[in-house]
């Protein structure tokens, strides 16, 4: 992941009470949310929601107006809850295994600058 971070990809990490990483999201400068992962022992704790909110805030304050992703069946509800809209269901094969995911997008309202006198 170092090469992606060096290229400007933001990596957001959620940790447990022992400061161990248990979930992460990767946001490219184009607005593509490339990864959203949560360790199975830590699902249903709001970590995906927090990571998606953090990515949206980052996008807002860095002038990214649209976020987009390819969400799995498992991740789709988390993205929908975070305001993403499913645009297209995609089915394809990788090494003979059928994969289905959804192309999803979210519009980010621009940030209003704060000026001081």
Considering only residues 1 and 35, tell me which one the structure prediction assigns the higher pLDDT.
Answer: 35
Sorted by where each begins, the domain ranges of the chain are 2-107
- Asked whether the predicted pLDDT for residue 41 surpasses 60, the reply is yes
Q: From residue 2, how far is each of 20, 32, 54 by CA, in Å?
A: 19, 17, 20
- Rounded average pLDDT over 76-105: 96
SS3 per residue for 33-92: EEEEEECHHHCCCCHHHHHHHHHHHHHHHCCCCEEEEEEECCCHHHHHHCCCEEEEEEEE
Cα–Cα distance between 94 and 84 in angstroms, integer?
26
Class of domain 2-107: alpha beta
- Rounded average pLDDT over 16-33: 96
- Rounded average pLDDT over 63-75: 95
* DSSP reduced 3-state for 101: strand
DSSP 8-state assignment for residue 32: B
- Asked whether the predicted pLDDT for residue 94 surpasses 70, the reply is yes
Least confident of 3-17, 27-41, 68-82, 103-117: 103-117
């Amino acid at each position: 992941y170092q090469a992606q971070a060096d290229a400007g990809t933001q990596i957001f990490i959620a940790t447990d009470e022992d400061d161990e990483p248990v979930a992460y999201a990767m946001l490219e400068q184009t607005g593509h949310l490339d990864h959203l992962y949560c360790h199975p022992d830590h699902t249903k704790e709001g970590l995906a929601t927090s990571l998606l909110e953090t990515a949206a805030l980052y996008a807002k304050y860095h002038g990214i107006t649209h976020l987009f992703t390819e969400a799995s069946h498992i991740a789709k509800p988390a993205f929908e809850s975070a305001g993403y809209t499913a645009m297209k269901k995609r089915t394809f094969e990788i090494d003979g295994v059928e994969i289905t995911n959804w192309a999803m997008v979210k519009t980010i309202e621009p940030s209003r600058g704060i000026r001081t006198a």
